Chain A
Amino acid sequence: MSLSADRTDFGAAQRARALADLMVLDTPDEQAFDDLVFVAAKACDVPIALITLLDTDRQWFKAKYGLEVCETEIEHSVCRIEIDQGDLLEIVDLTNDARTKRNPLVTGVRHFRAYAGAPLVLRSGAIVGRLCVIDTVPRPEGLSEMEKAMLQALARLASENLELRRIAKASERLTALQTALVEIGETIRSSHDTAEMASATAAIVGRTLSADRAGFGSVNEDVDTIDVETDWTAPGAVSIAGRHRLNEYGNLREPLVVGDPLVVWDALTDDRTLHNLESAMRVGVRSLVDMPVRDRGKTIAVFFVHSAHPRPWPAEEISFLRSAADRLEAGVARHRTEQQQLIVNGEIAHRLKNMLTMVQAIASQTLRSVTDREAVYAFERRLMALSAAHDALHQMSWTQADLQAVAATVIDAIGFSDRVDMSGPAVALGPRAALSFSLIVHELLTNACKYGALTSDDGHVSLSWDVEVGQDDDLLRVTWRERGGPPVVPPTHRGFGSKLINIGLVGTGGVDVRYEPAGLTADLHASMRHLVQG
């Protein structure tokens, strides 16, 4: 007795899980199943044929011929009789069998009289229901051997169809989860705000899993409270933003502390939650997954998904949630690091500027007695050029500077932006090249203001550059061309400015200054590989 009760319990549990895996309950009619019941009815010459799936509290018909209802209470099910024996069940006169003679389907208007059902056995061995045929008149002679064989063959086809359907659905499901993960990755990558990352991820997860609520909350050191900033909710579900004590919802803490996901299929039957249902029911949580987010061996946050209905969370959904939570955490951590880096960079820039201002102050005090004020101003302006290069470097986190930005800042600092045309592609300079380039532009510009094109009102300068693609390395060519100035006279001696220019972009020359009659032209070139070095 107890043995068979055990087997029944095992069968019921196995059936519940298998049915959940099939994802078939309450789905619309499908032709393949409708065809099977049609053929079964005709093969056995009966008015009614059904594909019956035995849920815990009802029997639900995936396909029906000759009957208009789609489910009945499980107590009225004939199909469930001897279901776990896995054999064809035939009752030739339902009014004359102790198990069925008081069944309302028999005693009532439906007038069921004869029954035969073949089990639907999945590849796993789980028995999920029957393909059955029903007559409204007694069939004392029963089905013929041929009819029974056909019924069993059709039941095998129905089972196989359920399997194939499950595999197709699972693969669609996996694809949907995969697509959602890609979407989450892209959303996080393009976001610059951690709250936005969390709410966008929650929304994608919630929609993908057809959940009622999803969100991200940070947990305290002892993992007994969770702070939810914002959460995604399906229409009709309430937000749970705010602080929550985990023990209000039951004994949920242990798995989260060690970093395991907390998975509750049904809060009403789960040992960990069934004694603390009030809080969960108030916010409509019947089923949930809490996925811990870890940092250095500690749970620092929880990504949660809630459902208002009992729900078996399959393994692929759990690993989907784990990946989503990991991606979110990585995005948040990356953002935090970037923010800290920005602050540090800002601080470095600030100190550097203050230091340059100090140098300016010291020089100004030290050189008070110098009568050649032009020399003092020249010093100050070179300092400005260096400062401008640092501005351009700071904009790109000190690792590189945009060539045009360096030139523009230097030219702007001296005040000739309207007289210098710039053209060329975007080129990133390393820190050293940026500093050299700022000083060279400064010297060329100072020279143009003192002796060259910018001494006359219609003189102008064109600063152009291009990158010549080579086999091993690319070559940057920069041309400074002055036009519209007074006739050019080559200088009689080379000052410091001229020496600075001749050092070149990377300290190894590559400079050609020509005093052409129409205006000074300076060509500078350097290998891109050297230019981007630190």
Chain B
Amino acid sequence: MVKPVVLVVEDEPLLRLFATDMIEEAGFEVLQAPNASAALMTLEERLDVRVVFTDVNMPGGIDGIMLAICIRRRWPTIQIIITSGRPWPDEAVVPADIVFFAKPYRQDRVLDTVRKMAA
């Protein structure tokens, strides 16, 4: 059986490794990107990504929220999870049905969401 594919976008290597391990152990195939533009490049090559799990603050000009808006527009079927050390910006215009987790997050809750989205 083919494992569902999750893309982890996180600039901090240790946190990327942590998220990757967590999601891999839950039975998914995980792709990694250190910033939003790398994430977009990956999404153009791999059309089988089901869920994107992204940080908000990343170097390179495009942050996680803009990445999410971009993905919604170009690949409307991809599910998105956003995580950040900052509180969720109330006033930000963000696409609907995106799930937000404040850092540090509870692994079981993140994994529950990933499973639900990939199903």
The judgment on whether A and B are partners is yes
**Chain A interface (Cβ within 8 Å of chain B)?**
346, 349-354, 356-362, 364-365, 377, 380-381, 383-384, 387, 391, 413
List 17 other contacts, CB 8 Å, given A361-B18, A364-B21: A350-B57, A354-B85, A356-B103, A357-B15, A357-B85, A359-B104, A360-B18, A360-B104, A364-B18, A364-B22, A364-B107, A365-B17, A365-B18, A377-B108, A381-B106, A387-B104, A413-B106
Q: Is B102 an interface residue (CB 8 A)?
A: yes
* Bound form: Cα–Cα A364–B111 in Å: 15
Q: List 21 A-B contacts (CB under 8 A).
A: A346-B86, A349-B85, A350-B86, A353-B104, A354-B15, A354-B85, A354-B103, A356-B104, A357-B15, A357-B85, A357-B104, A358-B15, A359-B104, A361-B15, A364-B18, A364-B107, A365-B17, A380-B106, A384-B104, A391-B87, A413-B106
Q: Mark B87-119, 1 if CB is under 8 A from A, else 0.
A: 100000000000000111111100000000000
Q: Are A380 and B107 in contact (CB under 8 A)?
A: yes
B49: min CB distance to chain A, Å: 23
**The 3 residue pairs across chains A and B that have the minimum distance between CB atoms:** A353-B85, A361-B18, A357-B103
In the complex, A263→B7 CA distance in Å? 68
Q: Are A361 and B17 in contact (CB under 8 A)?
A: yes
Residue of A nearest to B86 (CB): A350
Q: Among residues 1 to 45 in chain B, which have CB atoms less than 8 Å away from a CB atom of chain A? A: 12, 14-15, 17-18, 21-22
CB closest residue in chain B, given A381: B106
The tally of CB-CB contacts under 8 A between chains A and B is: 56
Assess whether A362 is in contact with B14, with CB atoms less than 8 Å apart: yes
Binding site of A, secondary structure by majority: helix, strand, loop or mixed?
helix
Minimum CB–CB distance from A373 to chain B (whole Å) comes to: 11
Closest residue of B by beta carbon distance from A346: B86
Distance A346 CA – B56 CA, assembled complex (angstroms)? 14
Which of A357, A381, A387 is most buried by chain B, counting CB atoms within 10 A of its CB?
A357
Chain B residue at minimum C-beta to C-beta distance from A362: B14
Q: Which residues of the other chain, A, contact B107 by a CB distance below 8 angstroms? A: 364, 380
Q: Quick one: closest A residue to B22, CB to CB? A: A364
Complex contacts, B18 vs chain A, CB 8 Å: 357, 360-361, 364-365
Within 8 Å CB of A356, what residues of B?
A: 103-104
Shortest Cβ distance from B116 into chain A, in angstroms? 16
A179–B71 Cα distance when bound, in Å, is: 58
Quick one: closest B residue to A347, CB to CB? Answer: B86
Contact of B103 among A353, A362, A413 (CB under 8 A): A353
Give the shortest distance, in Å, between A408 (CB) and chain B (any CB).
Answer: 14
Which residue on A lies nearest to B105, using beta carbons?
A357
List B contacts of A384 (CB < 8 A): 104, 106
Shortest beta-carbon distance, B14 to chain A, in Å?
5
Closest chain-B Cβ to A311's Cβ sits at a distance in Å of 46
